[in-house]
Amino acid sequence: MQLLDDFRLHRPTTLDDALALRAELERGPRVVVVGAGFIGAEVTATCRRRGLDVTLVEPLPTPMARVLAPEIGQVCAGVHRDQGVDLRLGVGVAALLGGARVERVRLADGSEIAADVVVVGIGAVPETGWLASSGLEIGDGVICDATCATSAPGVVAVGDVARWYHDGYRESLRIEHWTNAVEQADAATARLLDGPAAPPYAPIPFVWSDQYDLKIQAAGRIAPDDEVFVAHGSLVERRFVALFGRKGVLRGALAINRVRQLMGYRRMMREGTSFEAAVAAARAE
């Protein structure tokens, strides 16, 4: 595969990236999106709303497979197909072909897709190289304790680059959503003002995504191997709330076009409600 910059591919990470991509889309191109996570799915939906031909390529078996159970990922896949997306699942990209600009994308199965614009949304790597000689502990981000304090006295880290210890989940997390950056800034400020007496930063993560007419909202820590219970609505209707349990504890909730109940389950997660109790509460409604 040739270097991305040789083909002027788009990796939407900054405002300038987004503006450059918008300018390209004004020309009515054939678009290939690589990666069916939140960013790839949102770009795909935006392109289809503009009436563009779009192919969405994902090496995993369903969209957003790293966080969603297969049956819920299939709901998202069905939405893209209904909107006219050429969805290629379970296959990766082998090569990008063309001259000064990309012209085709060759997949690992040997098939080729005509493309004028390729958008790559396959995850992010924290930019920590400039901190290599700082003395800070680095490991897929800047390592922090439960109060967002780094290994250097008087230094805290916030946002996508911060990997901190979550007391509630008992694991180190690095979350790439702006809601976390906003909430984490308050916690880091408290650490600077109060020192080690500052309370640990242990939020219930909350994210959302708008795709076509779907409003997707999720709270907690969802994994594809969680136990799943559809608490409200149905997958067929594409309007539901699903609960996710792990080791007997309610760990996450996801709502598609049915967001009223979600905040209640987020509160349950904050209180440490068992998965069984959350399911019972849902059935009682």
Give the per-residue pLDDT at 12.
Answer: 67
To which residue do tokens 């067929």 refer? 236
Query: Counting Cβ atoms within 10 Å, is residue 174 exposed (0-12), middle (13-18) or buried (19+)?
Result: buried
Question: Do 18 and 42 belong to one domain?
Answer: yes
Task: Pick the closest to residue 4 from 101, 94, 92, 115 (CA basis).
Answer: 101
CB 57 within 8 A of CB 33: yes
Query: Which of 197, 226, 252 delimits the end of a domain?
Result: 197
Question: Do 177 and 235 belong to one domain?
Answer: no
Question: Do 104 and 155 belong to one domain?
Answer: no
Give the per-residue pLDDT at 68.
Answer: 85
Query: Which of 148, 176, 197 delimits the end of a domain?
Result: 197
Strand, helix or coil at 219?
Answer: strand
pLDDT tens per residue across span 39-57: 899 999 999 999 999 999 9
User: 167: domain CATH number?
Assistant: 3.50.50.60
Question: Do 18 and 81 belong to one domain?
Answer: yes
- Extract the residue ranges of the chain whose pLDDT is less than 70: 1-12
CB 204 within 8 A of CB 235: no
CA distance linking residue 48 with residue 52, whole number of Å: 5
**Total count of domains within the chain:** 3
CB 85 within 8 A of CB 54: yes
For 5, phi and psi rounded to 5 degrees?
A: -65, -25
DSSP string of 50-95, one letter each residue: TT--EEEEESSSSTTTTTS-HHHHHHHHHHHHHTT-EEEES--EEE
Give the per-residue pLDDT at 11.
Answer: 67
> Domain range spanning residue 228?
206-284
Question: Do 182 and 222 belong to one domain?
Answer: no
Cβ neighbours for 109, distance < 8 A, ≥ 6 positions apart: 91
Question: Do 214 and 185 belong to one domain?
Answer: no
Task: Pick the closest to residue 54 from 89, 79, 80 (CA basis).
Answer: 80
User: 232: domain CATH number?
Assistant: 3.30.390.30
34 token code pair: 């690589």
Question: Do 108 and 12 belong to one domain?
Answer: yes
pLDDT tens per residue across span 221-231: 998 889 999 99
Give the per-residue pLDDT at 259.
Answer: 81
190 token code pair: 């408290």
Give the per-residue pLDDT at 5.
Answer: 42
Strand, helix or coil at 25?
Answer: helix
Question: Do 9 and 103 belong to one domain?
Answer: yes
Read off the pTM: 0.86
Question: Do 258 and 224 belong to one domain?
Answer: yes
Query: Which of 197, 223, 248 delimits the end of a domain?
Result: 197
CA distance linking residue 53 with residue 68, whole number of Å: 26
Question: Do 114 and 32 belong to one domain?
Answer: yes
Give the per-residue pLDDT at 137.
Answer: 96
Question: Do 85 and 163 belong to one domain?
Answer: no
Question: Do 160 and 219 belong to one domain?
Answer: no
Neighbours of 90 (CB within 10 A): 13
